[in-house]
Each structure stands twice: as structure tokens, then as C-alpha cells.
A and B are shown apart, each in its own frame.
Chain A
Amino acid sequence: MRRDFLKLCGLAGLGLAVPYNRPVAARAKAKDEPYGGPYYVVFNASGGWDTTYLMDPKGVNGINRLYRVGDILTQGAHKYAPIAKHAQGGMSNEAFYAEFGDDLLVLNGLDYSVNNHAPGARYMATGKLDSLAYPTFPALVAACRGLDCPLAFLTFGNYSATGNLVAMSRVPYLPSLRKIANADAVDGNERSPYHDRFVTDRIEEALREEQAARATGPRLPREERGENMLYAAQISSKALERVTRYIPASIPKERLSQQAEIALASFKAGVGVSANLTIAQFDSHANNDPDQMKLIPELLAGVAYLLRRAGDLKIRDQLVVVVQSEMGRTPSYNAGNGKDHWSIGSVMFLGRGIKGNRVVGATDEKQFPIPVDPRTLKLDKEKGIRVRPEHIHAALREFAGIADHPSSKKFPLGVAESEQLRSLWA
């Protein structure tokens, strides 16, 4: 079935204009096997996080009111803001770095180039500022790695464009998957199938023949995409029945944990490749510190939940996690004790293949970025480059082994070879 599926996708649609070449890492997957990883999760701190209260602490020039430079804490190579006394719920930086610091790679001084939400979110999600057509990284990697997965790309908000490469799946409630997991039985009850087995087989055969007949005739590009995506969705949906056994009996209350459970269930069942997890309300124009002290711990708790639960499910070693936002917050407070938009920020990575306990890039004491030598990743004020989202995405594509995939090439990032961050991951 999978072979037929890929053949159809590759020949005529799903965004693949040229024959499909499976990436090296995916070749091990045999026909009809569940997707076995790696799994990619992007956490979005939507609204713009205050990086000086997390991985890029300052404590000088009035940038932070909750601590001073002497209070800054360290964990291995990391420096981070002390927030345990101020955190409202969730997980403090102290606890997060203690548990995950050794696995964590931080990039500071990222230049978003813009400081408004929509373009910033799009740029950070895709690596392309001036196009609405580009896919987000999780969508792209799902398209390259798991076109036959029914929930290949899960999204829970934030910018989620797919570049017409893969369908996005929105699963707002995990229990709703139970309702659809066994689509060929009345009320999902396996003992009460709608059709006798031989009828179902005949129907599938007819649909397969009909699809094949359509593929041989002239079709508009939109027809090709639509028909192939429909066929793929229906065929791949049968794998959803594998998800039910991983739906937990009790659903966590926290919003990120709920999203994480859905993503993990799809990963564990081999029906998902990537997920876009999001919490909003970081846009702390008023009362920055209380807002950030509530949301940063919530975000970190969500990351920790995902990683711990992945450990329980024995798939943590296949997880790749990116934690990002569309902008930072200003180095000064406004009249309402808030902080406004700042075009400089940070991004965090951890997981499979990422060497942790490292910090790349930096900002100065006024929160301006310090250029980086793309080859050595050392700070170089004279000859370095400003690291922008396209550099991150080019590196992510390389890291995921999809840089040369036709779907990636369809959406070039235009990063010169001399600016590639080759040694970012290890």
C-alpha cells in the first residue's frame, strides 16, 4: 500500500513535481511500517518572549527589574536569568537548566530583522520573510519524511503554512481521535463493521483504479494536488487506529501538555512526523515581568513535559525540539511597566543529534546582537554575520537531512555557502 501511495504522490502531486527521492535517514523504513523517527517539535512562544529573563540574561542598564547582573546563574556553559523566586507556576529556569542544560543548545543574538508579529512569526517559522508561499520547517520535514503519515504535520496554532507540500492536521482534543480511529466500523466498534470485509476490499480497489485512471489523463496542477491529497488522506487514515492505544486515560490540564500528548501519541503510533506547539500571550506591552514570569515557566514546563513523557514512551531519543518566538522584548520598560517589540532574540534546541551544554552567539549589554563567524560560530564583531532566521532554517534542513530533497529545493533560502552554520549542531 505504501509503495503505491508514494508512487502516486511522487508521480503526480503532493507538491512533488519531480520523482520522489527518499532521504537517506528514511530509507530504513520498510513498507507499511509506522514512521519511527526522528520526530520534530517546534515550541512557539507566541507574542514575543523576553529572552533576558531566560537564556540571555542582562541585569544591567535597566533591562531587568527582577535581578541584577550579579544574580545571573550558570549551568555548565549556560548563563540564565534567576527566576525561581518570581515564577508563577510552571518550571523555573533553575529547574529547567538543572534538568536539561547538558542537552541544551542556545543561540543568542538572533536578528529577526522585523519587529511585528505576523511577519516575524512567518519569518521565524519558514526562514523566509518576503513570501507567503514557504512552508514552516515542521511542515517541510513532514512532507519530506512522512507523506504517508495521516498526521504527518500537527499544528496547534502560530504560523503553519505548508507550501502545498503536506496537509496540516489540527487535532484540538485528543479524545476526538478516538472517534475517528476506526472509520469503517459503526461508532468505531470493531465488532460492528459497516461493510463485510470483501465489500470494503472491493470499494478500495475501485477507488484505487479510479485514482490510477485519473492519473493517466490530463489534469490541471490543482486537480493533481487535490485528487492525490484526497486519496492519500483516505488511505493513510487507516493507520490512525494505531493511535488509540496511546491516548492516555487522563488528559493533562496544562495547554502545552495537552498538545504534547497529542503529538506524542501520533509519534508513538508512527503516524506523525512533526508538531507545531504554541502558547500565546507573551506580548507583554503592559506589566512585562508578571506576564513573562507566568509564561516562561509555563513554556519550560511544557518542554519538560514533552521530554519526560517521550522518555516514558521510549521515543525521547528520537525527538528534536526547537523552542522559539517571533521576536524579543525591548531592553527598556515602557510607561506601563511593559516591554515592547525588539527585533533581537534567541532560539533553543535540544534532542537527537544536537550537542548540548553550548551557547552560540550573544548580545551586548544593550541587547544588540554581536556578529558571529559562521564557520567557527565564535563572536566576530568585524567580519561576522548577523544570524537571521534563514541561517537557522538552512542549518535545520541540513540537520534533518532534507536540504537536497526536491520539496526543500522548491523553497530555496538563498543562504550563501560562506554563511552556512555548518557546525551548529555538534
Chain B
Amino acid sequence: MSRNARLLALVLAAGVLFAGGVRGDDTKPYTGAACTATVDDFYQDEVWAKVGAPICLTCHKKGGDAEESKFILVDPRRSEGVARDEAMRQNREAFARMARLKVKDQSRLLLKVVGDLNHGGSDVLKPDSAGYRILTSFVRRVNTPPTGTPSPDLMARDANAPPFFNGIVMVDDRRLLRRVTLSLAGRLPTDAEFAAVARDGLKELPSLLDSIMTEDAFYDRLREGFNDIFLTAGLDGNPEASVLSYEHFSTTRLWISKFDLSHIADAKAQQQGRYKLANDYRKALISEPMKLVEHIVRNDRPFTEIVTADFIMVTPYSARGYGVYDEVRSRFKNPDDPFEAIPVKLKALVGRTRDDNQESATGFYPHAGLLSTFQYLRRYPTTETNRNRLRARMYYQHFLGVDVLELAARVSDAAAVSAKFEIPTMQASECVVCHKTLDPVAGLFQDYWKFEGVYGRRKGGWFKDMFGPGFEGENLPPVERWRALQWLGERTAKDPRFAVAMVEHVYSILTGRKVLLPPKDLDDPLFVSRRRAYWEQRRQVEAITAHFVQSGFNLKTAFKEWVVSDFYRVDGLATVVSDPRRRAELDDIGLVRMLSPEQVERKVAAVFGERWGKLTDQLAMLYGGIDSKEVTERATDPSGAMGAIQRILSNDVACRNVARDFARPAAERRLFPHIEPDVIPGASPDGDAAIRRTIVSLHERILGRFDAPDSAEVERTWKLFAGIVKDAHEQKAFDKREAYACRQGNPPPPDDPHYTIRAWRGVVTYLLRRHEFLYE
């Protein structure tokens, strides 16, 4: 037995322990009357939320490490509605039964959790921990029903607490519309859209979103957003070699080198053409997984197809690589478009030797949505020591929303456990608790082993010192092995956690951050506040999930529901909040998202008509972008380097656009349609009014603010504009033309004898530096 199996074990074990914790208390507060005994708040909010779900449920469940014990809990996440309530009630009764049992006048429950009475999980709580105090209180309540009010510090919820969004200002409908069109379609709202929300308010938004979600720009954003999650664009190597294995595609994958470009006479141009062909081919191959996401959403297909689709998306170029181009050519609208993607079912892979042929009962490759794409398999490769555990971990994270490694419980002596057991992953309780869940899924990927994990069975068969292939306690029937990932996909689609995870993915695309995790530190004085924040968000996630499921897993439903939710519409506070408990509750409230490099470029294009074009490559990385390989998380706060880039952007974009806008006929201008350079502040009331109207218009266009001409905000900008003009006229002399760098373009911009064009440029620079432009 490789020691690796033993050693990978220890913390993975803890990972699943936590995984239970992450989701374990994802239960709605008990409100129904479907059972005989109510699940009281103390049990639910204290015992279950803080101890039962995150600790006990990990092992004390069917399929868990303690399934042979007499204390068996039911995972409420695996059921919905009344069944979930029933699970909570059963769990409460199981706890109560344990609380009544005594050993020599001592509570059996309290002895077990500190590791006495041969508790298999050893000491899961310390006697001085908050969790232990909660159980002590519970045991006392069960054995001596309380006559008074429980101690306030253990009360989970403040019944008198005001509604969660009390005192929160929601964004008005116009600004919400702008937020949505910029976020999802990279454009400003149209006049018709503004008119629609002005007429019908928020209720009009879903239908507007239906329309927005038909635009190509939305699908660009969708693919970008899901790549941030799945990171499939970050696969290593040249895709024609890494995605398409030599063993199965040796005669087709390098079609580029033989492609007839003889119609290009010039040799150098022909070589350039071949380079472009190769680049487009690579891009097409890399983009296929996200094209699958697009295909599902664009066609209103159930998003469960992300794990069940029995096809992949291929383009005219990648189809040649797969060797299926002649078969599918007629289905392309434009066979010369390298990126048009259509669904295609591949035949079972044929290797260079019979042993490398893919087993298939149908003759087709057993597609299972994203799970079985070559790109996903290569992005998360396997090794002899890793044994597909990375894939299993990513599967849980991507499709069930469980990150098994994010929070690990401490093992008192991990090294000793490693040394004590021959196969810790199967024998040591600290390890088994996780590996019993993780390793079966790893086993489902077993036939995607050779050729760096694209496809191919492992010589000598699958590892015997691991829990066998399966999913959540169900073994993979041998007859299903050839389609193991399809088998997994089918179960994934039915798992209630899948829908929740997808709704959470949509939240992360819209907000740039993950949903809240339940607070873990029971001794944190702000624990109750943090947990309330978590619960409020959880309730919203669950409500949207229910609608998402009802809609047949149409992902557009999740987008629409999030957009109109309070969480997305929060805009600010009505009054200053200084109470630390309330501030803790509101800590994560509000969109307040720094735009990514891609989003900044799209916003510049939306406001000014063209992208800045410089937030690419190195500068994009410096601005917090990702490469999907080494750097996989976007920066959420601006560093000084990013502040410098913001200043360059504001200077440069204003430089490019202000004088050029004045060069256009007034009716064609984006920024200054109602003012001319000869309007000087203070020269006339009409002129001043025109300047203020222009400022209002710029505030709306660049910042998304709808300010009154006499507002403080407009006054500040007025002061800037008028101050610059005044300062200029106090100079001994100034050039009567715009700066050379800023008077490019055709037609040439007008002269600037009054310095007003440059003053407007200063205004635009100022606005582009503002929070309202750089954040959403």
C-alpha cells in the first residue's frame, strides 16, 4: 500500500467534517405543523446549528463512519419541504434520547463528545468550549424542562429584532436597470428600457432580463463568469495536444499543418494565415466547455445538463480535430466561423491498440456534461499519488457547492495517525470521515487515467486501498462502469445540493464573491449577528433555488430572481449605523464590487463607444485579473498599482474622447450634445444652466447618477469645471489648442481658445476616477 493514501487522508477527513458544517445547517427555521413535537429554537439554532450539523452529522448518519452506532441523524440537506422538517424533528428526538441517557449520573452525550466511553470520533468538543456549554444546557433542558427564559447569551434569535433590511435603501429602478445591463450585457440601457421601468417599475425587470439574456454580450459574460468558477480556460499545454490525446486523435488533431492555404499566394502571408488558424483552433478547443454552458442557457435547457448532457460542443475547427468535421459540416450555419459551436455526440474512442479502445455499450463516448469533457479532465489532471482525489474535490466544489478542504478540523496528532494505520484513509476515523465520501467519487473517474487523464484504464486495475467507486453511500454497479460519469451526473442532478450550488454560482457571477459561510467561532461576541446575516442570505438562496428547480432548472430564473432580490438591490443606509452588532449583520450587504479588467473595458465601451483596449495581458494581471492557471481569484480591492492604472485610464480615456466628441456634429455626440466649447462659466445664466445640464448628463452617463442641477454633487463638478477655466485664464498664457496627445482623430477637434475643452476633459477624468464608475 502506498503511504500516500494514508497521508492524504488526514486532513481530507477533516475537510468533509467541515463540509457537513458548511451545509449542515442549511435548514429553514422550523415553521410547519407537520409533526407532533416542535423543533424548538434553542435546539435548532444552538444544538443543531452549532454542534449537530457541523460535528455530529459528519459521522452519525447512514453511510457515515458511525453508522453502526445508536445515534443516527438524518441529513436535512438531502430532502426538501416537509421531508426536511421531518428530518429536523427526527434529529431533535435523537439528540433528546441521547440527552436522557446517563452513565453513573453523568450525561452519556456529554461524556461522548469529550472522547469518553470509547467515542469513535474521540474528543470532538473541549469541556470549556462553547459547543460543550450548549450541549450541557440542552441536556439540562431535556431532563429538567425550563421554567423560565433561557439565558440570553444562548438565545439564537432575537425575537424583537427588526426586519433584516430595515433602514436599508434599495436602488431605484433606473439605476437597477443600468446596473443590470452593464453587468450582464456590457451596455447602457436603451430609452425603451428606461421607459418600461419608469412605467411599470420593478415588475417589468424580469421581462427586460428575458430580452437581455438573448444578447450575445450576455453569453460572453456568462462564459466569463462560469470560467471564473470552473477555470477550464487554464488547462496546461497546447490544447490540440493536451485536449486531444495522441493515442486517440493522432491522425486528426494536427489538421492545421495540412490545411490548404494555397489560395494565399504570398508565402509569408500564408504562414501568417496558418498561425491565425492555429490560434483560432486553440481558442475554439479551450472555449468548448463554456460553450456548453452557453448552449444550455441560451436554449432554455435544464442546467442539470451541465452534468448530464450526452454531447459536447464542437466548432468547425475543433470538429476537424475530433475527426468528425465531414459528418457535422452541414449543421454549421457558417463552417468558416471558427467559434460557432454545435452539440455533437462523439463515438467511443478508438485507440492505437485494442487495449486503448473505449468500452461503450452504445458505441458512443459516455458524455456527462462538463464532467467528461477532455478539457475538464485535463484542467484537473490525476496522478498515481493523487488518484483522482483532486477531481473528486473539484466535483464537490463545482457541482455540489462543498469545498472539502476549505476548513479542516485539527487532528490532535496527525503524524501519529499516519503512522498507526496501514491504510488510514480506510481505517482511521479522522480520515475515513472524509475519504468515505471523496474516494468513491474519485473511483468514478477511474477510467480517465492514462494519457494524462483524458481516457484510459489504469494498468493493474483501480486501487484496492481506497473505498470503491460510488456516490454518497451507493456503490457503482459494475455494469455501469463504462458510463460511470453519466451515472454520477444523473445522481448529481437529483441531489438537492446541486441546485443550491448553481444558484450560488449565479450569485458569485453577479456579485464577484461567494455566498457567506456559517460563522464557526461560537465565542465570537458577534456570532449571533454574523449568523443572522448568514441565515438571511441562506433563506434567499433557498427561495431562489426553489424557483430555479420549479422552472425546470432554467438558469435564467436564477439570474432574474437574484437581480430583483433585496441582496442585489441594496444601495445604502438610510441612517448611520454604529451598533457593532448591526454592523456585523450588514458587513457583507451591498453589491459594492470592484470591476474586473474585462468589466472596466466593457463599461468604457458602453459609455464612450469604444474600449480603452489597454487592460489586457500584463496590465490586466496587474489590475487583478486572472489567468485561470496560476492566478485563479480576482483581486477584490485595489492596490496602489491598481490605483495608478485607474489614474492612467481616467487620463487616457478622457484624453481620447473629449476633444473628439466636440469634433462631431452635436447630434452625434455621446458626451456633449448640448454644449459648445464657447460656453464659459459665469458668462450668462443660460450658459451656466447649459453647463449644469451637461454635468447632470455626464453624471448620468459615466456614474449612473441621476442628480438635480442644483445638487451638491453637481455643484462640486461645476466648481471643478469653473475652477479650471478660471485658473487657466489666470495663467500668463496658454495654448489655444488641446494638448497634442488629446487632439487626435478625424475630423480634427476644434481649437480650445477658452480652455473649456480641457476643462471638460478634467471633469471627465474626475468622474472616471470615482467609485461609481470603477465599482458596481
Report A's interface with B, CB cutoff 8 A.
Answer: 17, 111-120, 129-132, 149-153, 157, 162, 164, 166-173, 176-177, 179-181, 183-184, 186, 192, 194-196, 198-199, 202-203, 205-207, 209-210, 213-214, 217-223, 225-227, 229-230, 232-240, 271, 285-286, 330, 332, 334-336, 338, 340-344, 366-369, 386
Tell me if A221 and B586 are in contact (CB < 8 A): yes
In whole Å, how far is A312's beta carbon from the nearest beta carbon of chain B?
24
Q: A150-B644, A170-B631, A332-B3 are in contact. Are A203 and B410 (CB under 8 A)?
A: no
Q: List 13 A-B contacts (CB under 8 A).
A: A116-B8, A129-B408, A195-B758, A199-B724, A206-B720, A220-B572, A223-B590, A234-B646, A332-B3, A334-B385, A338-B385, A341-B4, A343-B414
Interface pair A194/B765, CB less than 8 Å apart: yes
Contact indicator per residue, chain B 713-725, by CB within 8 Å of chain A (1) or not (0): 1001101100110
Complex Cα gap A308–B485 (Å): 54
- Contact: A195 with B577, CB < 8 Å? no
A172 touches which one: B11, B386, B621, B741 (CB < 8 A)? Answer: B621
How many A-B pairs fall under 8 Å by CB?
301
Residues of A within 8 A of B589 (CB): 220-222
- The stretch from B251-259, B263-271, B473-481, B632-640 touching chain A is B632-640
Pairwise interchain contact B11-A334, C-beta atoms closer than 8 A: no
In the bound assembly, the distance between CA atoms of A218 and B575 in angstroms comes to 5
Which of B168, B384, B418, B761 is close to A195, meaning CB atoms less than 8 Å apart? B761
Query: Would you give the shortest CB distance from B727 to chain A, in whole angstroms?
Result: 4
Q: Does B592 have its Cβ within 8 Å of any Cβ on chain A? A: yes
Interface pair B573/A220, CB less than 8 Å apart: yes
Which residues of A lie under 8 Å from residue B412 when comparing CB positions? 113
> Of B592, B619, B638, B719, which contacts A167 at CB under 8 A?
B638
Complexed CA–CA distance, A183 and B384 (Å): 50
A152 to B638, CA, bound (A): 12
Q: Is B2 interfacial (CB-CB < 8 Å)?
A: yes
| B644 lies within 8 A of A237 (CB) | yes
Give the contacting residue for B644; candidates A181, A194, A226, A227; CB below 8 A: A181
B408 contact set on A, CB distance < 8 A: 114, 116, 118-119, 129-130
A169 touching B641 in the complex, CB below 8 Å, given contacts A176-B619, A199-B758, A344-B415: yes
Chain B residues with Cβ under 8 A from A171's Cβ? 622, 641
Majority secondary structure, B binding face: helix
Residue among A179, A218, A286, A369 making CB contact with B384, cutoff 8 Å: A286
Cα of A229 to Cα of B641 in the assembled complex, Å: 12
**Cross-chain contact of A340 among B6, B383, B574, B728 (Cβ < 8 A):** B6
A365 to B451 CA separation, bound complex (whole angstroms): 40
Binding site for A on B (CB under 8 A): 2-4, 6-8, 10-12, 14-15, 18, 168, 383-386, 405-416, 418-419, 517, 520-521, 570, 572-577, 580, 583, 586-590, 592, 594, 618-619, 621-622, 624, 630-631, 635, 637-648, 651-652, 654-655, 712-713, 716-717, 719-720, 723-724, 727-728, 731, 734, 739, 741-742, 758-759, 761-762, 765-766, 769-771, 774-775
Judge whether A129 and B621 touch: CB under 8 Å: no
Decide if B410 touches A285 in the complex (CB within 8 Å): no
Distance of A150 from chain B, by nearest CB (Å): 2
- Tell me the nearest residue of chain B to A388, going by C-beta: B410
Could you tell me the distance between the alpha carbons of A115 and B4 in the complex, rounded to whole angstroms? Answer: 11
Partner of A131, one of B520, B712, B720, B765: B520
Min Cβ gap B393→A in Å is 9
Contact A196 B728 (CB under 8 A): yes
B520 x A130 contact (CB < 8 A): yes
B641: A residues at CB distance < 8 A: 150-151, 169, 171, 177, 180, 237, 240
Cβ contact of B411, chosen from A114, A118, A149, A164, cutoff 8 A? A114
A157 to B630, CA, bound (A): 8
Residue ID in chain A nearest B520 by CB atoms: A130
Point out the residue from B15, B588, B654 that lies within 8 Å of A119, measured CB to CB. B15
- B735 — nearest CB in chain A belongs to which residue? A196
A172, B639: Cα distance in complex, Å: 14
Contact B637 A286, beta carbon cutoff 8 Å? no
CB distance from A142 to the nearest CB of B (A): 10
Minimum Cβ distance to chain B for residue A176 (Å): 5
Give A1 Cβ to nearest chain B Cβ, in Å: 13
Besides A214-B771, A344-B415, 11 more A-B contacts (Cβ < 8 Å) are A116-B12, A150-B640, A150-B643, A152-B640, A198-B727, A206-B720, A209-B716, A218-B573, A221-B589, A230-B774, A235-B643
A149, B587: Cβ atoms under 8 Å? no
Are B11 and A206 touching (Cβ within 8 A)? Answer: no
Q: Which of B405, B576, B712, B716 contacts A118 (CB under 8 A)?
A: B405
Contact of B621 among A170, A237, A341 (CB under 8 A): A170
Please, which residue of chain B has its CB at the minimum distance from the CB of A116? B11
Q: Of B409, B587, B618, B631, which is within 8 A of A130 by CB? A: B409
| Residue numbers in B under 8 Å from A330 (CB-CB) | 3, 7, 418
CB of A113 within 8 A of CB of B3, answer no
Q: Which residue of B lies closest to A160 (CB)?
A: B633
Residue in chain B with minimal CB distance to A128: B521
Note all chain A residues with C-beta closer than 8 A to B583: 17, 221
Q: How far does the Cβ of B692 sit from chain A's closest Cβ, in whole Å?
A: 16
Point out the residues of chain A lying under 8 angstroms from B168, CB to CB: 220
List the B residue with the shortest CB-CB distance to A328: B415
The answer on a CB contact under 8 Å between A220 and B586 is: yes
Judging by beta carbons under 8 Å apart, are A176 and B622 in contact?
Answer: yes
Measured CA separation A76–B386 after assembly (Å) = 40
Residue among B643, B759, B770 having the largest count of chain A Cβ atoms under 10 Å: B643
A382 CA to B190 CA, complexed, in Å: 75
* A203/B720 in contact, CB under 8 A: yes
Residue from the list A194, A219, A233, A343 in contact with B638, Cβ < 8 A: A233
Kindly state the separation between the CA atoms of A112 and B412 in the bound complex, as whole angstroms: 10
**Residues of the A chain whose Cβ atoms lie less than 8 Å from the Cβ of B587:** 221-222
Contact indicator B644/A240 (Cβ below 8 Å): yes
Please pick, from B590, B645, B775, the residue contacting A230 in the complex, using a CB distance under 8 A: B775
State the Cβ distance, A157 to closest chain B Cβ, in Å: 7
The 10 tightest CB contacts between A and B, nearest first, are A150-B640, A233-B643, A116-B11, A285-B385, A237-B643, A343-B414, A119-B408, A237-B644, A233-B638, A169-B639
The answer to whether B385 and A340 touch across the interface, beta carbons within 8 angstroms, is yes
Q: Are B4 and A340 in contact (CB under 8 A)?
A: yes
For A183, list chain B residues within 8 Å (CB): 644-645, 647-648, 651
Please, which residue of chain A has its CB at the minimum distance from the CB of B649? A183
In the complex the two chains form, what is the Cα distance from A17 to B526 in whole Å?
A: 14
Q: Is the CB of A203 within 8 A of B618?
A: no
Task: Pick the residue among B3, B10, B415, B644 that contacts A116 (CB under 8 A).
Answer: B10
A115 to B408: give the CA distance in the assembly, Å.
10
Contact B418 A342 (CB under 8 A): yes
Asked if A233 and B407 sit within 8 Å, CB to CB, the answer is no
B438 to chain A, nearest CB (A): 11
Q: How far is the CA of A202 from the CA of B761 in the complex (A)?
A: 12
Specify the chain B residue showing the minimal Cβ separation from A157: B630
Contacts of B652 in A (CB 8 A): 186, 194
The interface residues of chain B lying within 8 Å CB-to-CB of A169 are 639-642
- How far apart sit A205 and B590, CA to CA, in the bound complex (Å)? 28
B38 → chain A, closest Cβ, in Å? Answer: 32
Question: Chain B residues near A210 (CB, 8 Å)?
Answer: 713, 716, 770
Complex CA distance for A343 and B618, rounded to whole angstroms: 37
Q: CA separation between A167 and B638, bound complex, in Å? A: 6
Tell me which residues across on chain A come within 8 A of B419, comparing CB atoms.
366, 368
Contact A233 B405 (CB under 8 A): no
Q: Give the complex CA separation of A332 and B635 in angstroms.
A: 40
Q: Is the CB of A206 within 8 A of B717?
A: yes
Residue in B415, B647, B648, B774 whose CB lies within 8 Å of A369: B415
| A131 and B727 alpha carbons, distance in the complex (Å) | 54
In contact, A172 and B618 (Cβ under 8 angstroms)? yes
CB-based contact A343/B411 at 8 Å = yes
On whether the beta carbons of B640 and A192 are closer than 8 Å, the reply is no
Contact between chains at B406 and A115 (CB < 8 Å)? no
Select B716's contact among A132, A176, A194, A206, beta carbons within 8 Å. Answer: A206
Cβ contact within 8 Å between B647 and A237? yes
Which residue in chain A gives the minimum CB-CB distance to B740? A192
CB distance from A393 to the nearest CB of B (A): 15
